[in-house]
Structure 1
């Protein structure tokens, strides 16, 4: 397999997707090829299925692991807009409160949004954009006080980077 996870493994946390498209994406990615092939499959999937949470997740993860951080950031920002659109809430993370969406509902667009927001914080951290990273981490802590998405791990990295 090209990536170190099956796309269908990310179906559960992001729940709103249909299993058919996710299985097709997994099948295409598992046929072999290289990272360029995987990226083409993911981008093609997003062209035909622009609300495919798993494809966004896989694509921004792929780009991040290749240190293509500006591209990964652009994909994450698009994923945030799609998650907000599907969830019926504002796409601007700064405008959210603990009650603006069902953040603790794991199988929801709100959960995908939080997961993508966590990814954005890590991308910003890797780019050295510490103030933006910390602002997002503070917002995630407000929206996800139980740390369901594991943003405390990114906060620990940020704390370590700040003390280095």
Structure 2
């Protein structure tokens, strides 16, 4: 079960979370930032095919304003999810027919992480990168199931400053 949402992790990320990873994640609750980082990195490195710890780690860094670290983790998450979804690890090469992004699982997590990378790019003032990521999201998710319109609005707002 995803400890953040209460929804089965398979529905969001495409697989059960091993008990050892759940213990590491549970141990982060209320912990010091360094301990949280260490536990989440341990989960990612010891279970590289398990996608939820990547999400928790890039979200943790992004929330703390550590955008370089968030980008690093999200990039690793994108690669891990691509492997699990059997799609190209080069996000630029992924095409709409490569997989079904509408069903829960690794491909959906991959798409969600692409959105996260666009968000991180906007916050890092990397407008050109954000635009490329958003263009890819528009092609792969024309119905905007992952909510990239929020990132587009943020990018538009940042361009007016």
Q: Please report the RMSD computed on the Cα atoms of aligned residues, expressed in angstroms.
A: 1.8
Match of 1:83 among 81, 96, 105: 81
Equivalent residue runs for 1:12-161 within 5 Å: 12-18=11-17, 20-21=19-20, 23-30=22-29, 32-105=30-103, 107-161=104-158
Poorly superposed stretches of 4+, deviation over 4 Å: 7-10
- Contact 2:67–2:120 (CA<8 Å) still a contact in 1? yes
Unaligned runs of 5+ in 2: none
Unaligned runs of 5+ in 1: none
Shifted more, 114-123 versus 18-27: the winner is 18-27
- State the distance in 1 between where 2:38 and 2:58 align: 13
Post-superposition CA distance 1:40-93 (Å, at most 9, x none):
110111121111211000000111111111111111111011001111110111
SS at structure 1 position matched to 2:145:
coil
- State the distance in 1 between where 2:136 and 2:21 align: 30
Post-superposition CA distance 1:98-144 (Å, at most 9, x none):
10121111x21111101111110011111111011011011101111
- State the distance in 1 between where 2:6 and 2:118 align: 22
- Contact 1:8–1:19 (CA<8 Å) still a contact in 2? no
- State the distance in 2 between where 1:80 and 1:49 align: 15
How many pairs were matched up?
158
- State the distance in 2 between where 1:9 and 1:123 align: 26
- State the distance in 2 between where 1:139 and 1:22 align: 32
Give the superposition deviation at 1:19.
5.7
- State the distance in 2 between where 1:26 and 1:43 align: 10
- State the distance in 2 between where 1:111 and 1:22 align: 21
